[in-house]
Amino acid sequence: MKCFDIKNPDKTLTDSLIDKINNLTKPKGSLGRLEELALQVGLIQQTLTPKLSNPYNIVFAADHGIADEGVSFSPKEVTRQMISNFLSGGAGVNFLARQHGFKLKVVDGGVDCDFQAIEGLIDKKIRKGTRNFLYEAAMTAEEMERAIEAGAEVVTDCYRDGCNVISFGEMGVANTSASSMWMTCLTGISLHDCVGAGSGLDASGVSHKEKVLTQALQNYKGSYDVLDVMRYFGGYEMVMAVGGMLRAAELGMIILVDGFIMTNCILAASKLYPEVLSYAVFGHQGDESGHASVLRYLKAKPLLNLGLRLGEGSGAICAYPVLESAIRMINEMNTFGNAQVTKYF
């Protein structure tokens, strides 16, 4: 498997960053999370004047064999249909990317469709959808390794374009089912507390989904090692996101984490390389059942709670202005000394 060289940021600058933040013209701590974010980004970038450059959002798309069991409200063809919507600029993530200055990459990681060459679609297809994990592993070890490498390659391309802050999104019918399986296997949280409505299941639909996933868990005879869990229950788009997150951390980039699925991706990434969490900014807490629990498990403090459950990277991009405010604070606010204001704390 591809190895990553991820280190926790050097803490040498901590006192200097805190001193700079505390000497801005405000009561100590009065800008709350903005101060915490400025400190985090300053340590990631090893500078007293951090900056955000050329943000990207990558949408990885793939289909899931478990969708054949009726665990999603959305029919399987929605995955390929949404590819066209992303590329034409009409999806939710598109207007948010335009609003906040994000460049968008759309990646076919394993959509069950033979696309003709389409401008803007990055072809990293592993297979036309995973296998049905109710009966067998979703992917082979070799396919998982290819997916990790593919995700890392796309992030490298963004980095070479001057990007230092990146978010990830996903498109794949039934990927909340795969995420629920990762969550229960990697955290020990009961499957019941990990399963939600996804794209819109009613109570009976959620009950059916839980029964299918319970049976899949009973059928699983693996080791519960993170790589085996990723391989057995994952989607190609999810594994690509894990590879992308690990590469972003290796490159010293800021990772804006989106909703339920992407939070479970960074959960898996952190089981491989715990240091990745030092580079993560959790954008929001969504409405999908289980998201709050996995955030608590990770001791993550999401920036927003807007009732979002779209995915695609939408919540991460919504949170970007908060991150930007933190960077403006540390770079643009005057100090007590320069402003000739008496320090009032």
Nearest CA to 60 among 167, 196, 134? 167
Torsion of CA 138, 141, 147, 151, to 10 degrees: 120
pLDDT value for 275: 98
Q: pLDDT tens across 165-174, in order?
A: 999 999 999 9
pLDDT value for 248: 98
List domains and CATH numbers for the chain.
Answer: 14-50+329-339 (no CATH), 56-322 (3.40.50.10210)
pLDDT value for 343: 85
- The answer to whether residues 240 and 124 touch, using CB atoms and an 8 Å cutoff, is yes
Cα angle for residues 1, 40, 167 (degrees, 5° grid): 55
Does 237 qualify as catalytic in the annotation? no
**CB contact set of 276 (below 8 Å; sequence gap of 6+):** 6, 245, 246, 249, 255, 266, 269, 270
- Confidence band (pLDDT; 50, 70, 90) for 319? very high
Rounded to whole angstroms, the Cα distance separating 304 from 315 reads: 8
pLDDT value for 181: 98
Whether the pTM exceeds 0.85: the reply is yes
Rounded to whole angstroms, the Cα distance separating 24 from 44 reads: 21
Token pair belonging to 334: 């005057």
DSSP 53: -
CA-based R_g, the chain, Å: 20
Burial class (CB in 10 A: 0-12, 13-18, 19+), 1: exposed
- Confidence band (pLDDT; 50, 70, 90) for 116? confident
- The answer to whether residues 236 and 109 touch, using CB atoms and an 8 Å cutoff, is yes
pLDDT value for 145: 98
**CB contact set of 145 (below 8 Å; sequence gap of 6+):** 1, 2
Query: Of 77, 142, 312, 324, which one is the catalytic site residue?
Result: 312
Q: pLDDT tens across 218-274, in order?
A: 999 999 999 999 999 999 999 999 999 999 999 999 999 999 999 999 999 999 999
Q: pLDDT tens across 45-102, in order?
A: 999 999 999 999 999 999 999 999 999 999 999 999 999 999 999 999 999 999 999 9
pLDDT value for 276: 98
Residue 16 exposure: Cα atoms within 13 Å on the Cβ side: 10
Distances, alpha carbon 255 to alpha carbons 22, 55, 252, 262, 296, in Å? 26, 10, 9, 11, 18
**CB contact set of 249 (below 8 Å; sequence gap of 6+):** 4, 6, 255, 269, 273, 275, 276, 278, 279
